[in-house]
A and B are shown apart, each in its own frame.
Chain A
Amino acid sequence: MSKSLADFAVKHAIKKGATYAEARYEKSSGSGLVFKNGVPQISGFDEEEGIGARLVYHGAMQFVSTDVMDKKSVARVVEMGVKMAKACAHLMKDPVELAAEEAIEDRYVVKEKKSISSFDVKDKFELMRDVESELSDLGLKIPARYFSLSDAALEKYFVNSTGTKVDARLPMVGFTYMITVQNGSKTMQKHQEFARTSGYEALSEWNLLEKAAGTARNLDLVMKNGVRLPKGELDLVCGPEVVGIAVHESVGHPQEADRILGREAAQAGESFLGPDSIGVRIGSDAVTVMDDPTIPHSAGFYLYDDEGVRARPKYLINGGAVTEFLQNKESAWQMNTMSNGSSRAMDYSTEPIIRMSNTFIPPGEMSEEELLSGVKKGVYVKSFMEWNIDDKRFNQRYVSAEAYLVENGEVTKPVKRVTLETTTPEFWGAVDAVANNLEYFAGTCGKGEPMQGVPVSMGGPSIRLRSIRLGD
């Protein structure tokens, strides 16, 4: 019945005069649990389903959604969409056109080794208690501990009026912690997200206990033994977490074609790049950046996007030059190219827009040790807490959580508060080497209006930047 409602939405839109229609049926069954300072706060489960549909009517694009699962409601919102499209007609500049894509019929399922349904409430409480115990056993002062665990089994069905039908089943588990470590009168904090498109076998990948405890121990050491950064230009080694955020913010976002075309101007912003920036150099020869939704079990995994387009790996930067923007069908038409399957919606009630998936620097040849050995005097920034970037994605700032001096190729003392405030070309232009220790970090990327948070991952191996100015 539910999938047939999506079919009905498409047929009804076409019947009402739409030249194109697509619909998504999504059903999500999930649960969550929150702990604060060792106390279980609340747990729960939800089952949500709904229909989201887009239609093009006389050149106007409309998105409609409902969670009332009957034909009458679906017909009603589709007709409201048509009515609004008619109203919008006189304020349209160019009719919306979508790049043509092949019709696809397919189904894909991500299998769970340790299924979400088999990991019951008791297991979840036990996991939270284990993380809590691991931290308390450190003997450090950790006055605030916030943990959140969530899972969901998502069923998706996409259908459009040009013959595409895609069914998918995607399990997803996620964990977030935020810890405050105190040493004397000083405190440091760290927020960390974990997400995986899989069952609870994710836990063995994440090493939550080890990671949380390691972070707490290292923050304590930074407070206790951290030295101030020497003045002047230094070589900088960014660890995979820092590479991940830099790749996401200053390569992935500015290469979203909808930003480049101005569609997100009032919300997520625009881009320092223009439609004609393909081939423009923004980094050194050593810099290659990819976005790849097809990485199995990744946080941003999918095989077909929310416009029914087959996903594929994309080189955003190759050898320092811009090679390909992230495109959906609408931006692709405007830029005279094809969609590369980058259209995602947070859920059935939100319109699909251009998003990243898993954005990263592919591994290089040398080990992290070899990379570090080439640094006489520098700093290794392992993780960050504060960051931001301007809405053209040009001026960015990352402030370290964990950082260490590098002296004659060796990581030595912890360093307090390393601030990197730089421009996109300055940062990527200074990269001279890329290691092979690729790691991904999960995040929730926000964009759109209403705000849509979608799971992504970001990462890379450690990279080395020569002669960087650091500090506020």
Chain B
Amino acid sequence: MRVSKEFYDGIDYILKKSEKEFDDVIAHGVISEAKQIKFTNNAVSTGKVWEDRGVNLFVAKDQKLASTLVKELDKKSVNAMVKKLARFVKLTKPNNEYVGIDAGKSKYKKIQNSYDPSIPKLNDELVDLVEAGVNGALSKGAERCGGIIESGWTKEYLRTSAGIKAKQKGTSASFSIRAFASKDASGHKLSCARSLHHFKPEDAGKRAGETARQALDPAPGKPGKYNVMFDPMAFAVFLDHVGDAASMFSVEAGYSFMEGRLNRRVASDQVTLHDDPLLAGGMFSTSFDAEGRQTRRHTVIRSGILRTFLHNTSTAARYNTDSTSNAGIIAPHAWNLVLDTGSFELPEMLREVKDGLYVTNVWYMRFQNYKTGDFSVIPRDAIFKVKNGQIEGAVKDLRISDNMKDIMLNVYGVGKHREQIHGWEVETPVKTAPVLVKHVKFTKSLEK
């Protein structure tokens, strides 16, 4: 899909017309195209192609806030839409928590490895990459695998009534493969990148196949407390929830187990976690946030101490601090969560576990109480039993039933080598190495 001059002119015109009616205006245009191939039982099942174009328009008048999606960008349609929005806003009630949008001067930083011109041209190559991933898994002992490959590009143009004019473009590619060596023995790996150079489906396939093979003949797991090594795919799920809990919106809405913990301990001293919107090759890397503010890296947790919540202009004003460039107009959110590496190689980590479990993936995490952090989550795919620092077979049918505060406080080691995780269970991209957590509580189905 070609990005026409009319698209950019249309956004300029939306701003021009809206500024006359409202105090604050943000017009954020996005054009994107994506392709996906889904594969099942080692063969392609469906191909998909999407194209999408629209302008998210946010307006505020006397603290009354409204948003809409503008699809038609000709002047007549824009005029009608702005009038309709003005009538709508008049009927709403003010949000007295709103203080405006960032009006600072912004100098946007270029994101490294965020655009690869070869990605939009991919077509036949996507099938070749699927084949390489599948063959990689089969070569390591899998008997079947399924998953998806996806590639796409996005162009953004943002204008605000605070004088912001920002553009960026990006590409992305992701590969998710779940390999099965038997019905009960599986491994799941990802590769996600913004440029083809860093995109490694074959490697992901081999690692998924290897994990599946190692997980053959799992024994029923026993409930109890274990020291655990979490693979990046598994620990990323926890860090994604830490990112959610760091949003000031989550705190206020009752969705955070870190409420009231600013400058206090929320994790062990092994944990230093950043939100890095400028991460080279980060899946959600961006030069500007939803208010047009230039983004910058923040340390959310330093050596276990919560250093900041994530803010937009309005939440920051309520807590007498500065925006962390994490807008979300209403709900601030993390961009890319990055956990500092530790010193451990994988064999050393297993030795540190000594007698415990090695969890390769988790899914379906649900909270009993977001404020207290009580949750359960299911280890999906291989769970390995570790005895005397060595893998000694696989186990199955266990569930982690624990508390997020305890999980983070019980981290006792971080690996050396990080992976970027982004997918079904991890909505905010997370870059993490394997992580050691002690005394993790496992439960299982009670039968007569």
Residues of A within 8 A of B399 (CB): 388, 390, 395, 397, 421
B91 touches A122 (CB 8 A): yes
- Selected from B35, B51, B91, the residue in CB contact (under 8 A) with A121 is B91
Residues of A within 8 A of B443 (CB): 397, 421, 472
A261 touches B424 (CB 8 A): no
B254 touches A66 (CB 8 A): no
Residues of A within 8 A of B123 (CB): 83-84, 87
* B58, B368, B371, B399: residue with the most chain A Cβ atoms closer than 10 Å: B368
Does any Cβ of B come within 8 Å of A306's Cβ? no
B97 touches A39 (CB 8 A): yes
* Contact A36-B47, Cβ < 8 Å, known A45-B88, A83-B123, A449-B424: no
* Contact A68-B53, Cβ < 8 Å, known A84-B47, A189-B371: yes
Interface with A: B13-21, B65-73, B286-294, B295-303, which one?
B65-73
- Which residue on chain B has the smallest CB distance to residue A55? B47
- Selected from B46, B54, B253, the residue in CB contact (under 8 A) with A61 is B46
A47 touches B371 (CB 8 A): no
B67 touches A42 (CB 8 A): yes
A266 touches B49 (CB 8 A): no
Does any Cβ of A come within 8 Å of B380's Cβ? yes
Interface with A: B233-241, B335-343, B359-367, B413-421, which one?
B359-367
- Selected from A36, A143, A449, the residue in CB contact (under 8 A) with B38 is A449
- Selected from A34, A47, A73, A94, the residue in CB contact (under 8 A) with B71 is A47
- Selected from A36, A63, A90, A417, the residue in CB contact (under 8 A) with B252 is A36
A93 touches B366 (CB 8 A): no
- Give Cα A93–Cα B42 distance, bound, in whole angstroms: 8
Interface with A: B144-152, B155-163, B165-173, which one?
B144-152
B66-104 contacts to A (CB < 8 Å):
66-69, 71, 84, 88, 91-97
- Give Cα A85–Cα B88 distance, bound, in whole angstroms: 45
Does any Cβ of A come within 8 Å of B401's Cβ? yes
Type the 1/0 row for A387-413, where 1 means its CB is closer than 8 Å to any CB of B: 111110011110100000000000000
Residues of A within 8 A of B50 (CB): 64-66, 349
Does any Cβ of A come within 8 Å of B126's Cβ? yes
- Give Cα A267–Cα B364 distance, bound, in whole angstroms: 11
Does any Cβ of A come within 8 Å of B153's Cβ? no
- Give Cα A145–Cα B252 distance, bound, in whole angstroms: 9
Residues of A within 8 A of B444 (CB): 395, 421
Does any Cβ of A come within 8 Å of B388's Cβ? no
Type the 1/0 row for A89-107, where 1 means its CB is closer than 8 Å to any CB of B: 0111110100000000000
- Selected from A63, A187, A349, the residue in CB contact (under 8 A) with B372 is A187
Residues of B within 8 A of A399 (CB): 368, 376
- Give Cα A92–Cα B130 distance, bound, in whole angstroms: 12
B345-371 contacts to A (CB < 8 Å):
363-371
B188 touches A77 (CB 8 A): no
- Give Cα A266–Cα B91 distance, bound, in whole angstroms: 46
- Selected from B39, B46, B365, the residue in CB contact (under 8 A) with A388 is B365
Does any Cβ of B come within 8 Å of A81's Cβ? yes
A173-210 contacts to B (CB < 8 Å):
178-180, 187-189
* B84, B145, B147, B371: residue with the most chain A Cβ atoms closer than 10 Å: B371
Type the 1/0 row for A43-66, where 1 means its CB is closer than 8 Å to any CB of B: 111111100000000001111111
- Give Cα A321–Cα B443 distance, bound, in whole angstroms: 29
* Contact A125-B424, Cβ < 8 Å, known A87-B124, A385-B367: no
Type the 1/0 row for B175-189, where 1 means its CB is closer than 8 Å to any CB of A: 011101001000010
- Which residue on chain B has the smallest CB distance to residue A67? B52
A206-241 contacts to B (CB < 8 Å):
233
Type the 1/0 row for B297-314, where 1 means its CB is closer than 8 Å to any CB of A: 000000000000000000
Type the 1/0 row for B98-139, where 1 means its CB is closer than 8 Å to any CB of A: 000000000000000000000000011011001100000000
16 residue pairs of the A-B complex, CB under 8 angstroms, read: A34-B330, A39-B95, A41-B330, A43-B66, A60-B44, A62-B49, A63-B46, A80-B49, A84-B47, A88-B47, A121-B92, A179-B254, A189-B370, A262-B144, A386-B367, A399-B376
Q: Can you name 13 extra interface pairs (CB under 8 A) apart from A36-B252, A421-B444?
A: A39-B95, A46-B68, A62-B47, A73-B51, A90-B127, A125-B92, A144-B371, A262-B41, A386-B375, A388-B378, A390-B380, A421-B399, A422-B446
